[in-house]
Amino acid sequence: MNKVDLAKLSNEEWLAIKENIRTTWFQSTFMALLDIVDGQGAIHAMRPYTRMAGQAFAINMIKIFDIQGDDIDKIGDVCFLNGEAVDYDMKEIERTKQRIVCVGGTKCHWRDNPKEACITGHEMLFNEFCQTINPEYECRFTQMITKGDPMCSWVIEKKRSKGV
């Protein structure tokens, strides 16, 4: 049997192919789910799996990278690592003791996904990072390309009281 010579590609080219495979697989799987249930049904179905994935990712990244600091800094660092792992082009534009703000996503591999996939794979996942580290915090997406916005943006801060 002949073996394909991966050395014909640069490491960057091979990583791009691998990312494309993961992105396409996730997108096709989520679209198949949307063929069976509506958007809210898909989000509901994904919730327990996203919860487990978010908790595991946060716990493991904190342990592997020995992440220290205030809870908001831990949350921000875990979100950063997730972005690096899936190659988001998000940029942190503010980090204070009260909040973290990120913008970008114009080169995101996931921008062609259905909006429910982004709600599940970004917003819900980041809220699980918050829940795992300190449930007083939340992540709110203020813009999302898959909802028709020109870019993505999100804010992590303490949960607002219901009256505010």
Stated pTM of the model:
0.87
Which of these CATH numbers, 3.20.20.140, 3.40.50.410, 3.20.20.60, 3.30.1380.20, describes 11-158? 3.30.1380.20
Confidence of residue 164 (pLDDT cuts 50, 70, 90): low
pLDDT of residue 107 exceeding 90, the answer is: no
Mean pLDDT score of the chain: 91
Q: How far is CA 138 from the centre of its chain?
A: 14
Question: 117-120 long-range CB contacts below 8 Å, 24 or more apart?
Answer: 117/26, 117/27, 117/30, 117/146, 118/144, 118/145, 118/146, 118/147, 118/152, 119/43, 119/144, 120/30, 120/42, 120/43, 120/46, 120/47, 120/50
Buried b (16+ CB within 10 A) or exposed e, 144-161: bbbeeeeebbbebbeeee
Q: What is the pLDDT of residues 90-106, one digit of tens each?
A: 899 999 999 999 999 88
pLDDT of residue 33 exceeding 60, the answer is: yes
Q: What is the pLDDT of residues 43-90, one digit of tens each?
A: 999 999 999 999 999 999 999 999 999 999 999 999 999 988 887 888
